[in-house]
Structure 1
Amino acid sequence: MHRLFQNMMARPKHASIFAFLLVLFMFSLATTKIIHQQHETKKTLALSLAQSNALLLKTALDKNLSANYTLAAAAGRDHVHENWFPAFAARLKKEYPDVSAFALSPDGVVRQVFPYKSNEAAIGFDQLADLAQGSETLKAKEDGRLTLAGPMELVQGGQGVIGRLPVYLPRYDGREAAFWGFTNVVIHVDTLLHYVNFADLNKSGFDYQLVKVSQEKDQPATVISTSSERISKQQVAVSISVPNGEWQLILSPQGFWLSPWIILGDALIVLLISFLIGRLVFMALTLRAGKADLERQVERRTEQLSNSNRRMKAVLSALPDSFYEADDNGVVTSYHSPRMDEWLQAKNWPLGKHFSELLGPETVAIFERVMAEAKIKGFSNGHEYYYDFGEHRRWFEMSMTYTYGSEEQNGFYILLSREITERKAVESELRIAATAFQTQDGILISDAENKIIRVNSAFESITGYQEAEVLGESPSVISSGRHPKAFYREMFQRIQEYGSWEGEVWNRRKNGEIFPEWLSISVVKDDEGKLTHYVATFKDISESKANERRINQLNYYDSLTRLPNRRMLCEEIDYLLTHIDLKCRRSAVLFIDLDHFKDVNDLKGHHLGDILLQQVASRLMDATRSGDSVARFSGDEFVVVLEDVDISENSDRIAYRAKHVANKVMAALRQAFELNEQPYALTASIGIAIFGQDAIGSDEIIKQAEMAMYEAKGHGRNHVCFYAPQMHEKILERVTLDTSFRLALQREEFVLYYQPQWDGERNMVGVEALVRWIHPTKGMISPGVFIPFAEESKLILPLGRWVMKNAMVQLAKWQENPSLSHLVMSINVSVLQFTTVDFVSEVEEALRQTGVNPAQVQLELTESMLVRDQLDIIQKMQALKTLGVLISLDDFGTGYSSLSYLQQLPIDQLKIDQSFTRAIEESDKQASLAASIIGLGQNLGMEVIAEGVETQAQFEWLKNHGCNLYQGFLLGRPQPSNEFVRTEEID
């Protein structure tokens, strides 16, 4: 135990913790006992208050219930008389003022009550039959003792308790006494509680609750009076015995028996006292230990100083530098020098001499500056001076310190001098080498193990690597990985044989960029011929290589897409025909033209058109093999030359391959492009020409593929076609059609036919203007032939203007005819026509020239138009509505317009495409589509018209489903204006 105590004394921290815990434990026990005593005192006080108030309550209750005995005696005596009760009860009331009512209930039924006023509702109340009081009343009858019922809601109102005493009349024939009834004393709860001033309990800091204890174990107690809805579980209770039952008065503190703040305060005081005592123990032991430690430190420090002096002497003996000490005036007082033989070979020569006696004038000036700086700053380092030994000049570097003296001792200087003659010579040579090292060419020097030891600034600027990043690394740190290992083996073999190598190498910059350089490597050997270093110099030739590429790019590559251009494409095909044996091999050319690409430039601008072409080029490269060639032929036309394949086993192999690649290209282009953060859908038409050794030349092959492409466009675009010889005839027909169509516009060979439109009662309400071509030799040419051609060739623009003008001229004539003046003229507008800049102006001008009512002009736009520039469409439609014309959406249901976009447009009419009309009779599922369109149009407040009505069943179905207007061969065919007759009704 004594040893443990000593160990603790030697460790102040442990001792202080022990003292802290010990005091904390002792004070905690004492504080806990005091808190417990305070807790019990508070509970005892609460119990005393509860007992006092319970006694008051029981006394008041017993006093008032005793009135039952007096009333029972009178009832047993005077029960045969009827009028005795009021006067008797009045006298009792004076003696028992706290009783609110007296009552007699012969046979359990209340017959008399006093006072009668405000208690008359109790007359006739059957106490034995009542569900709430019956069981207690019957028990009182059987026991023959006074019982207390309640608290309860009284029949006469209010809450109270009832004391009942059964009355038995004696018999004089020896039989048992006969039950007569009950005497009742009614006491209001408020009156009873008046005797106990519960408000004083609240002021004393207690909550109370007076309850009636249930005689049934599973039934909760009945609350008679309470000061709080929730009574704390920290409580005392006093039982009050009442007739036929038990009440309890419960007291609980308003919060806790003792305040948590008091307990917390006691705990904090205990902690504080324990901490202070522990701290005092720690400080006392620390002071005691500090004194012993200080004595040990003095001994240790003395020994250290002794050792330091011995080491200092040894260091001075080992220093190659000269060591001098001079006084405050500059007189040498002590020195040590390894060059004693050089300083006039005098052992004590410098001692007692001023530094100016030992040095030349220039060196003296240097010493004076150094001594002045050292005296101000305390030190001065890195100063050079020289000393001439006969004809030889030797250079030295000095460092000086100055130490201020005390009152009894002057300050002194300490000087270290090191010879640097050889270093100065080397530095001079290095400056010359460094100047040559910092050229525009990159220089890398590596050791015999080919580890980098030096690079110049040109190396850093060319490669991006700083010198610190490559020191110790192999030169392969900038290797590009483009050259095989055999390339480097051959390089080092040549260096070993000839001592140098020169050539073009591809290397990699720090940022990952690969660049070309012209590299020269030479070796450095020592006097014995052993290789010590490699020196590599190089120039970045990226610019010259880029110039070569630019020249090549201009000649053979498209500047926008970076794909081969037409020139390189033709040379590649000619090379295949000339240098490759295609006797048993075949290749194919895919001619790809983007459908409606001009719309992108017209609507979105040439900048976005260029971006789209770049994206198309990228997808074409992804959709083809590495052996295939992709080129931009011109504008929006691309050509793919497939790698030749062997067809000796299957001649259809190249056709299958070409079709497969064409399908991959179509699938790649169908995916939406992103232009200006907006999706854009695009399709392409592809023509395929297969060729072998018998081909004439590249121009002919490309021409064949181009013809096939036009054939694909003729099939409605977004198609793939193989070249066939008969396509020459179709091209000729197309050229002929182009010439004829242009002449037809000049000669006005076009006429308008008008197809009537009807309402549900078969009244004609409008017409649709349809263009027809009457050829002078071929007769009537179907619109299905010349309309697609007109749209593709852009001739639809002059044709559309002609149709609009002549349709309005005819409408103006009909407006003069009373029977036709109400008709609405529907005019078809092509997509290309609507997207022109001055379309709204053309409509306005036509209205002004013809003078027709704009409300009778309806422009029919196709739904496919809505997928284009939505902002432009909305603005033009709003401008047209400002003019007063109507707008109809033709072919509704066949396009891709969104409903949210549709409701933004000022559309007056939806036109159900004839394909939906024909499908009505095919199946209920198909008919439901037409019904949905009708419901959609009506919900959007639009008029709905169905075209292609050809049967009576179609007409009846559409009418039954709420369609507004009808158009079709059933009701009327298209007619020229001179044969057009208004029909009021068609049977």
Structure 2
Amino acid sequence: MSDSPSNKTSRSTFTYSAIVFFVVFFIGVSASFVWQNQQNHIQRTQAHALAQTYSYQLRSVLDHNLSGIYSLAALVHEFGGFTRWFPQVAESLHQLYPEVNNFALSPNGIVEQVYPLAGNEQAIGFNQLMDIEQGTDAWVTLQQQKLILSGPVNLVQGGQGLVARYPITLEDRNEGPEQFWGFSNVVIRVDALLKSAQFQALVEQGFAYRLDRVDLETPLVISENNAEALVEPVVIEMSLPGVRWRLALAPESGWFPAHLWLVYGIACIGVAGLVARFVFMGLRIKEQKELLAILLTEQTEHANASDDRLNRTLMAIPDPLLEISQTGCVVNARMPNDESELADYFKEGESFKAHLPESVIEVFEFVFQEVLRSETLSHRGAVFCLSINDVRHLWFEMSVVFQASPRSGESGNYVVLLRDISIRHESEQQLRIAATAFETQDGMLISDQHNRIIKVNQAFQKISGYSESEVIGQTPSILQSGRHDKAFYEGMFEQLTNKGTWEGEVWNKRKNGEIYPEWLSISTVQDFQGLVSHYVATFKDISERKASERQIRQLNYYDSLTRLANRTLLLEEMMFYVQEKSLRSLQSVVLFIDLDHFKDVNDVWGHNTGDQLLQQVAARLTEATRAQDIVARFGGDEFLILLEPVDISSNADRALYRASHVAEKIFKAFERPFSLNQMDYQISASIGLAVFDEQCHDPLEVIKQAELAMYEAKSLGRSRYCFYQTGMQERVLERVQLESDLRQALVNGEFTLHVQPQWNAQRSMVGAEALLRWQHPERGIVSPGVFIPLAEESRLILPIGEWVLRTACQWLSEWRFNESMSDFILSVNVSAVQFSQEDFVQQVQRILSEYDVVAGSLQLELTESMLAHDQQDIITKMSELKALGVQISLDDFGTGYSSLSYLHQLPIDQLKIDQSFVANIEQGEKNASLAESIISLGHNLGMEVIAEGVETEVQFNWLAEQGCDLFQGFGLAKPMSITELLDSLK
């Protein structure tokens, strides 16, 4: 017996599904293999990059911590083996290199000095050259004369560590070759080194590693973690001073876990099975569609027979008539001509739900259920609405009868009659809308032509507190609060008469006497003769809105960064005191607080850190005051505090005493360091105080007085407070006038240059320093100590400094033809503001070219404090100036904070010993030793040394004996004009 077509189709479907399964499985296995190879390559690449990163960190940490060994060696060499400075220097280095276990000096290879000594006492006396374990490396270091890193070794003080040695040689006093002095040592413990290089993070990331020293015949293990898991590791070799290290790295779990192949296989089988299942289902659905087509043909023939019967019935019905099967399909739809819009919702052959909105569908389904439950199998009275083009709404009333099918086993039909009741429903809706609109949340009041109340709604009663019976027959004046005068209501009724409407804000009174704001709208209603028949008023309680407006207004009164009051709130509060309280028998004090050197925080650490500091300052100011005091941020780093007014009738100094107490609390609060980015930072403040009482009518004037007092506090040394006094304004005006005069001094030619000669040890004049003088037409000679800081602060030092430089180069240009002055050097002081200009070097080059000056005859003097700023910029500019041939002198040496490691990088020709050291030479050996050390340091760095402030013969002779090169001071010659200098040379 042959198979039926359905059986053949089923077998072909299974065959196609099996083929798809095997194809997808093969593709999945191939893709898994390619994917895993890529992942292995990526994993090894990432591991190699990680190994390079940690080897670089390890090298960086070692290079950083070994750099201190050079500083120790350089100091031993420069001071000729003198080592009493070692504890202080080693302590400074240990702060810079915290990973170092200890620093040591080993004359002839024997450890004599160790820092820190605590915990390292056993290292004292250790002979490195004779030790069995470390002796070989020590001799190699001595022979090769370079830094060599040994280890790991067992330290005599306990534990394992790395030992770095650098050989130190000293010049032979008999001018022979340099002789070996000993070693400078740095000891770093292995565990501290690995912790600083963050090797623990490598372990946390799931990697096994081994760190070996490989320059030996047998590699020496330095550190390892789970080394047995190192299968095909990535390897990075590092070259360190005298040694080579190797870092091997691999995942602890291996590059490719074997169980992944099982996972890939299961995944491929699952995906292949899923795809094959989808193919199988698709083919089966195709078969079902062919069967459904046959069934649909049979149903169509049956439906045609039913259509004939229903058409005859519908011809007699004027309303829309539908026949819907129990399955929901519209079997027949008869629509009269005036109901053509309804035809779009009920289409024959489609479900009645296809085009109806959900709400109407629910009505139909409910009615159909009620029909089947009814004994008469009928229902009427249900209502629904249809929207026509979103413009017109049609309402229909349903009458439904269920008609069973004459054929057994077939479902019956619902005969639905729809009656259009849109006109009736609209009339009812208008009535409901009118009733509902009257009972809105807004209060409503209707009065007659005599303004007598005839109707109020529930909202009116809720807002006003009056019941309807209490206000019927009354006029709206029952609600008046008394805040509006007669003219206000006359204007309201005049507008109602002219325009028919009025709208505005009114203050009314509730039944309980509470006054509240409301937004009132009044309209007039006219009769057929055009006369006013009624007044309709609607109003809304706007108390919450007014409160919200006040809240928003308050938000505008606070600083967004510190959450303190801002300038606007403070001024309004002060004006409130003036206008409302009048401050009779009361007195307040305004504190103007300015942070000292706040600009340095922004310049060094950035504005984000500056904002953090301002927030912490705001918190401490709030802690130092009472809740009734107002703390405000006035702008930038300026804060204002308005103290609560106090009664001074019994004690006139009460407010002043409290203000002083608050200022002291603020200073005490500022004694605690501020925490900025996990660093402690100390900052001070200057405070000005001004009295605020009934004599003052302008708050800004009081703030100005407090600000003047603050500037007075700054001029007295900062970090203090000062009360405003008469005369401060005059001093400020004097300073402003002095700044104005300073701006005109260059234009009027009031500046002159004096010079102070510089001498060598044979008392021959070899150069001079140019000194700026201001001959004011009214003030006379103005001290440089007065106008130079003002010029730097106002940046007038830039044109003044350029004038000085031009004048000096003009002199040098005139002297170049004078043989007696061919080697004469003129020094010019350069301000830090000048030197910070981006084009300063180009400016010097331009002036030298303009006057055709030999660059070597010009020497620029820079102060040591300047070196604390952008060091890289300073090195670059100094190098460029040296390339031009200009000489550079470092003024006030010894009073600043430049480091020796930084000083040797600068191309400086001359060190100038500050006069404070010279003046103390005769005061004791300690003071003399400082000057001697500076001379020795300058010579060792290849610099010329000049001493300023030489006043006595004893100072001159002592400095000459110590090898000082040049001298300058009143004891040799006072500052003089250029004419006097030229006469002296003649």
TM-score normalised by the chain length of structure 2: 0.41
Q: Which has the larger radius of gyration?
A: 1
